[in-house]
Amino acid sequence: MGDIRGYLKVKRENMACRPVCERVRDFASVSLVKGERESKDQASRCMDCGTPFCNWGCPIGNYIPEWNDLVFNGHWDKAYKLLEATNNIPEITGKICPATCESACVLGINDDPVTIRDNELAIIEYAFKNGLVKPNPPLKRTGKKVAVIGSGPAGLACAAQLNRAGHNVVVFEKDDKIGGIMRYGIPDFKLEKKTLDRRIDIWKKEGIEFRTNELIEKLPGGFDAVCLAGGSRVPRDLKINGRELKGIHFAMDYLVQSNKRVSGYNINENELMDAKGKKVVVIGGGDTGADCVGTANRQGASCVVQIELLPKPLIDRPADQPWPKYPMVLRTSSSHEEGCSREWSVLTKEFIGENGRVIKLSCERADAALKEIQSSGFEIEADFVILALGFVHPEPFKEVKLELDMRGNVKTDAEHMTSKNGVFSAGDMRRGQSLIVWAVSEGRRCAHFMDKYLMGESDLPVI
């Protein structure tokens, strides 16, 4: 530990963002990576705890106190090696992970926690800038061939680990580019796609084969093992009166199209989902809903309202969610700061239309039990509605009969193997909709057991 009083001398400083008036005019990254001096100061706040609960709060077990100490002492190369040992895509989790580690930071008991996610991003960007991130193909191949179906964070983490073990890995993706939800589900202002492409280019040089525009309906032949790592993409609908009206869209359909437009795709005018000049209502208070808020503002919406069925969260940690748990508290994203009215405890009862298009929502207030409060009705004007209500289960493989759990996810044993021998599953397809860091953890863990299945034992880490 470089400075035993660092947390007393230095206060937490979050990552800076570009001015709102500037960033809402484009889809470039909102955040600005911290410099070396600022990162060193923030790393000095890490107390090098005897029992570092940040490790417990991180699903991939990042060596957080260790690389914070290395950053403080200027050993950026060693910090990068420790970070790379546990995380296949730190440049991405450093941008979009909700930082469950920070909620478990010991300093957070009575002070602001360490800026762990910002420090992680600073380390990996330093490594790229200074040529520390290089292709490192395996010295020897095992002769085993593995298929990974799905190129989201779970699939890519699994593929990267299996390639490290020396297997020949082929990643199949139904879309035209690699990345899954990271590519088309997350706006560029949160994750610029050049960040993703930079990592994919390294994996290609390390020997991973990527096949796009491959919609897999049955298991591909000629492989010694297969990992199913598709996303949980079947959206939760809101089946109320007026649902058939035009102008009502699923969040992921809207975000995917917007991302493609930003990437230069031409969209048929009849299929265009554009919020320009529209009164937008986003139904759903989660991160996906916030991404829709930011996207609508950049498209020039006249106003944006985000409504949520649940009550407004507390600002401080609730008593029933004590440290080191990840608390359900009020979180304000960069998208909310750009212009948005937020309403909680709102139950949408009906979509009201005119000439076949939605013009407003009929709503009621909900109590703590999410039940309708009588005579609390009100209306919200809207001609563009986005349903950001989460997802129910992954899209099934039509010609692959696998045992599913009660939620419709692929059922596996403790070693990630499905009901079909040699076929494994990881990520949202197995776990259900979850966080990116859990997807990375799932992919790495699945790779360990696939390697063990293929070779009888494995030196890959379990997480």
pLDDT above 90 for 217: no
CB 324 within 8 A of CB 340: no
Looking at residue 2, its pLDDT comes to: 63
Neighbours of 337 (CB within 10 A): 14
253-363-344 Cα angle (round to 5)? 75
If you average pLDDT over residues 68-76, what whole number do you get? 96
For the chain, the average pLDDT equals 96
Rounded distance between C-alpha atoms, residue 266 and residue 232, angstroms: 27
Evaluate whether 145-233+393-455 and 238-389 have a shared fold.
yes
89-153-424 Cα angle (round to 5)? 125
**pLDDT confidence of 37, banded at 50, 70, 90?**
very high
The one-letter code for the residue type at 151 is S
If you average pLDDT over residues 169-182, what whole number do you get? 97
Rounded distance between C-alpha atoms, residue 37 and residue 75, angstroms: 13
Residue in the structure block whose two tokens are 């889809």: 27
CATH architecture for residues 6-129: Orthogonal Bundle (1.10)
CB 293 within 8 A of CB 306: yes
Q: Where are the beta strands (DSSP E) in 265-382?
A: 279-283, 303-307, 341-343, 346-354, 357-365, 378-381
CB 239 within 8 A of CB 389: no
**pLDDT confidence of 9, banded at 50, 70, 90?**
very high
pLDDT above 80 for 398: no
Q: Which two tokens stand for residue 363?
A: 């709503």
Q: Which two tokens stand for residue 437?
A: 């860091």
Neighbours of 318 (CB within 10 A): 12
**Helices and strands in the chain, H and E counts:** 17, 15
pLDDT above 90 for 248: yes
pLDDT above 70 for 1: no
pLDDT above 80 for 396: no
Residues near 43 by Cβ (< 8 Å), separated by ≥ 6? 68, 69, 71, 72, 114, 119
Looking at residue 273, its pLDDT comes to: 98
Instruction: Residues 145-233+393-455: name the CATH superfamily.
Output: FAD/NAD(P)-binding domain (3.50.50.60)
Domain spanning 238-389 has what CATH number?
Answer: 3.50.50.60
pLDDT above 90 for 319: yes
Looking at residue 112, its pLDDT comes to: 96
Rounded distance between C-alpha atoms, residue 391 and residue 232, angstroms: 6
pLDDT above 70 for 95: yes
Residues 354-371: pLDDT tens digits?
A: 999 999 999 999 999 999
Domain ranges of the chain: 6-129, 145-233+393-455, 238-389
The H or E element spanning position 54 is helix 53-57
pLDDT above 70 for 318: yes
Report helix, strand or coil for 159. Answer: helix
The one-letter code for the residue type at 159 is A
